[in-house]
Structures are given as structure tokens and as C-alpha cells.
Structure 1
């Protein structure tokens, strides 16, 4: 006589979670690779979609035909499109972004010399925004909890809404007019020591600070309404311990996610701010390359900007998966 069949052994939760996380990471990496391939093709196509001959446009209408033909041959622009694309992709993976039409300098060297200035500005602006916005959002949530202090709520929402709506370059112009030209407290342009960072960082940080503060307030209000907070208050837990040890960590997931996305936006959005302050970064260089029709430089800078945005978004997704494991389970 045979016994009844045994039920299947339960799966080990750790192994199942490992498979979920492995699949989550794999999907993000595949998405990143596809996006990077699209970015490569798009940056290559940019120079070929420009009306007319980009070499002729860069050399000027009076340039001899022989010079234009020689420059096209030297740049490989006389080869078939597919051959140019493959050559371009091979060069990018080797760190070779081409050569400037005007100076003959390798585009990779131009990017390497200016990228640290742009990244430093964006990173500092992001840090300033987070350090100001998170406490500000928490303070506004605590002050306006359960409908209290309507005046504070109206002032907070109006001020942050207005700050988000104003573009960064308008902040740049206003700050230069008031604090550089009017009061003379800061240099109006250029990179001349630590004091020259103040106005560009403020120009980049004001709008993200307002946006993160609004998100921080909403997340804090949600946490303040949870059962564990009510229980902690019933036990008369000290306010600093309640807010900073329990409420703050639970509000940081959404805040840090938005902060990471804003970092990529600040890197890409620093172009006009760098132009206003004559900041020696990629933003100023891309404006100069477009106005001077130096297309390989513009092409390389756009590719680097896009790659940075993709990398930051990938890191934010992976960080969110670590901080909030439920985000992985929602996709399975």
C-alpha cells in the first residue's frame, strides 16, 4: 500500500528573493544597454541629419572644394553610412570621439578636461538641495499636520510651486544682477576659487530644492499618519527620536530617488547656467561648438550627457531596489 503523495517542499525564501533580485538587476542592465545603443545611433545620426554639408558649414562657404574634400576624407565622411556607424561605435568604445573641426584637438581630451567642472557643479547643487529640502519638507509637514497652520501651508506650497516653475537660467541672471553686479559680493563669471561656486550652485539648486521639499513634506505627512507613529506618540517617545530615527528613514526612499533623477537633470540642464557664468564646463563648450558649427564636439558632448543620464538612472533604480525590495516584487 502506497502512502499519500507528499506535498512539495516549500521554497527557501532567501533563494527566491535572490532570483527576484537577479532578474530585477538583469532587466535594468538590459534596459540600460538598449538605451545606450539607441543613444549611440542617435548621436551618430545627428551629424548626418544636419542640412547641407557639415564640413562645408564649418569651413565656410569660401573654402576651396579640394580642402572640403580632403577634410571629408580625413574624417571618414566619404565612406558608406554603415561603415561610418561601425567605425564611430568602435571609436567610442575605445574612448575616441573624433576630432574637432576647428582646433583639430581630440574630442575626448576636450570632454575629459571639462567634464569634472560640470559634474562638480551638479553634485554640489544636488547635495545642497537635499540638505536644505529634506529638513524643510519635514518641518512643513510637522507644522501643517492634521490641517494645522493653514497660513504656513499656503506659504510653503506657493513659494515652492513658484520656485519650481522658474527656469535655472533666470535664477542665474537675477543672482548675477543682485549679488555680483549690484552688491559685488561674488564674481559674475568664471572659475576663480571656492567663492565663484556660490552663484552657479544656487542657480542650479533652487528649483530642485523646492521640488524635493514638496516631496519630503508629502512623504512625512504619510508617515505621520501611520499606526507606528501614533503608537510611538502614545508612548511619549521624544520628538527628536521619533522624527529623525523613525520617520526620516522611511521618507528617504522617494526623496533619494527623486534626488538621483534630479542629479541627471542638473547635469543636462546646466548648459545655460554654465553659459551665463562662463563656467569652463561641458555646457559652455557645447554652446560654443554649436554656434561655431564644430559638430564632432557637439556630438561627443551630447553623447556623454546622455550616457551620464542613463548611468544615473540605472544607479537610482538599483538603489531603489535595495532600499525598497517590494519594488522588485511588483515587476515579477
Structure 2
């Protein structure tokens, strides 16, 4: 029942997303075909282009055609290049996924041990200086917008020091700055959340009993503290990491990264609405899918959440 409820919720969310992405092109003021072809384009050309794209059909027929196209992998045709939008997505999506996956893995690998270590170090009011430094630094870093952080990284490490390439995708070195721009904020936020949860778990009865048995630090923290801390923070961590996919939009533009984010910006500036529409659909679907997987994982790790239906 738990899985069926989650699948039904996912299907409903995808249906809403589909309707919202379809509405984009119809809610934008003016004629998108006229905007794409230019103000001086002949009326006959505009009418022919609208007929070619099916925009002269009643709205319900356009919606049915759009849904059918999405379900069959046909996302329409670019206004500007006349190429299939599905081909544009297939060409650009891997680069965006690479950034998001690398950023997610690095954020988890750094934030989890950092948060747990700080919790152990500052438990029961110990090392107040470490706690103050940690909360101050992570709070400040988390408040820096990704765009501003990305620009700062380019100025320091590419322009001033010349250590890393400022833009493009060419070799392992080109991944460093964009991945760093994406991970710094999530690391700060996740490590703070994990530290708070770890502090709470350290005061639980099962941890007191484990300490009373004089378990080694490795068994005490890795077998008892870490799994319970991760279960408690899984939902928030999943939501935060899911945001890394759409969060790549600004970062990709700063670093001229050939992904969906850069293509989406280009399509908006060029009024190439079918491409922008498809990118929004892909971003939304990825976020919904990640949230679904997090819900399922949480239900497996903590059966109580499945019983409560949360």
C-alpha cells in the first residue's frame, strides 16, 4: 500500500507538471511564433509556421497532441533550429547529470562525516570554539548565492591564479570549478542538519547503553550513531540534493557548460519556447523522481514512516 500511494502521488504530480509545462507557451503574452520569427516576418509565414506547429488548433487538441508527444518521446521542434527538441535534450542532459551527480556525491561524502564529527566533538557543550566557528562559517557560506559563488571562483582560481580553466568542458580540470560552485552550499547546509540530528541521537537511550558497554568508537559511531542520523536527515537531504539539477542553470551559464541549463537560457533569450518548455519538464520530472526515490528509501529504512503514510 505504501508503494502504491507513492506511485499514485508521483503520477498525479507528473500530470500537474505536464499541464504546467504545456501552459507555458500559452500563458506567455503575445504570439510565440511571431516573437521567434521577428516583428518583420510576413503574416503568411507566421500563419504557415503556426499551422506547422499545430498552434492553430483548439487548445484541447493541442494539449492531447502534447501529452501524446511526451509519452512517445516527441517533445516538439525548435523554433530556431528546426531540430527535434528530444534530440536537444538527449545531447545536453548528460552534461547536466554529470555535474549534479558529482556535486551530490561530493556533498554527501564531505557533509556526513563533517557533521557527525562536529557533533561528537561539541557534544555536551564541549569545544564551544569549534561550534562557534562551524556555525559561523557554514551559515555564511550557505547564504552565498550559487551564481555569486561561481563568479568568485572564476575570478580567484581562473582569472587571478590561472590554476583552472574559466569555462567550457574540456578535461577533468574543467569540472572542478562548476562542481565546487554547486557543492559548497549543500555541504554547509547538510553538515549543519546532520550535526543537529547527530547531537539528538547522541542523547538517546540506545547510545547511552552502547557507551555503558564500553564499545569502541568505531562500533559506537559507525554502527549505531551514523545509520540513525542518516535516516533522520534523509528526507531533507534528498530535497536539497534534488534541487541540484535545476540549480545547475546559473552555474552552467557562468562556466559556459554545455548542459540543459545553458540551453534553457539560450532558448528563453531566443524565444525558442518548445525547448524551454521541454527543459522545464525534464527538470521537474527529475526532481519529482528523486523525491519519490527518497520517500521509498525512507520507508524501507524507517518502516514507521510507511505506516504513518508520511
- TM-score bucket (shorter structure): over 0.9
- Is the counterpart of residue 178 in structure 1 residue 156 in structure 2? yes
Contact kept? 2:186, 2:241, Cα under 8 Å: no
Structure 1 vs Structure 2 CA RMSD: 1.1
Give the corresponding residue for 1:195. 173
CA distance in 2, matches of 1:26, 1:185: 51
CA distance in 2, matches of 1:319, 1:228: 23
Contact kept? 1:111, 1:301, Cα under 8 Å: yes
- Is the counterpart of residue 245 in structure 1 residue 234 in structure 2? no
- Is the counterpart of residue 39 in structure 1 residue 54 in structure 2? no
Give the corresponding residue for 1:112. 90
CA distance in 2, matches of 1:258, 1:113: 31
CA distance in 1, matches of 2:139, 2:286: 28
Give the corresponding residue for 2:58. 80
TM-score by structure 2 length?
0.98
- Is the counterpart of residue 256 in structure 1 residue 205 in structure 2? no
Q: What is the CA-CA distance between 1:142 and the residue it aligns to?
A: 0.9
Give the corresponding residue for 1:218. 196
Give the corresponding residue for 2:291. 313
With over 3 angstroms needed to count, the CA separation of the structure-2 counterparts of 1:316 and 1:46, relative to structure 1, is same
Q: What is the CA-CA distance between 1:154 and the residue it aligns to?
A: 1.1
Give the corresponding residue for 2:280. 302
Contact kept? 1:126, 1:262, Cα under 8 Å: no
CA distance in 2, matches of 1:118, 1:26: 31
**Superposition misfits of 4+ residues, deviation over 3 angstroms:** none
Query: Which deviations, in whole Å up to 9, do the C-alpha atoms of 1:24-69 show, x marking residues without a partner?
Result: 1111111111111111111111101111110000000011111101
CA distance in 1, matches of 2:101, 2:152: 22
Give the corresponding residue for 1:159. 137
Q: What is the CA-CA distance between 1:136 and the residue it aligns to?
A: 0.6
Unaligned stretches of 5+ residues in structure 2: none
From the CA coordinates, give the structure whose radius of gyration is larger: 1
Q: How many residue pairs are counted as aligned between the two chains?
A: 310
Secondary structure of 2:82's aligned partner = coil
Q: What is the CA-CA distance between 1:328 and the residue it aligns to?
A: 1.2
Query: Which one is further off, 240-249 or 292-301?
Result: 240-249
Contact kept? 1:191, 1:280, Cα under 8 Å: yes
- Is the counterpart of residue 233 in structure 1 residue 172 in structure 2? no
TM-score by structure 1 length?
0.91
Query: Which deviations, in whole Å up to 9, do the C-alpha atoms of 1:85-129 show, x marking residues without a partner?
Result: 000100000000000001000000000011011011001101000
Unaligned stretches of 5+ residues in structure 1: 1-22
Give the corresponding residue for 1:60. 38
Q: Which of the residues 119, 125, 138 maps onto 1:147?
A: 125
Contact kept? 1:126, 1:259, Cα under 8 Å: no
CA distance in 2, matches of 1:254, 1:112: 36
CA distance in 1, matches of 2:241, 2:202: 28
CA distance in 2, matches of 1:96, 1:87: 10
CA distance in 2, matches of 1:91, 1:84: 10
Q: What is the CA-CA distance between 1:234 and the residue it aligns to?
A: 2.2
Give the corresponding residue for 1:16. none
Q: What is the CA-CA distance between 1:227 and the residue it aligns to?
A: 1.8
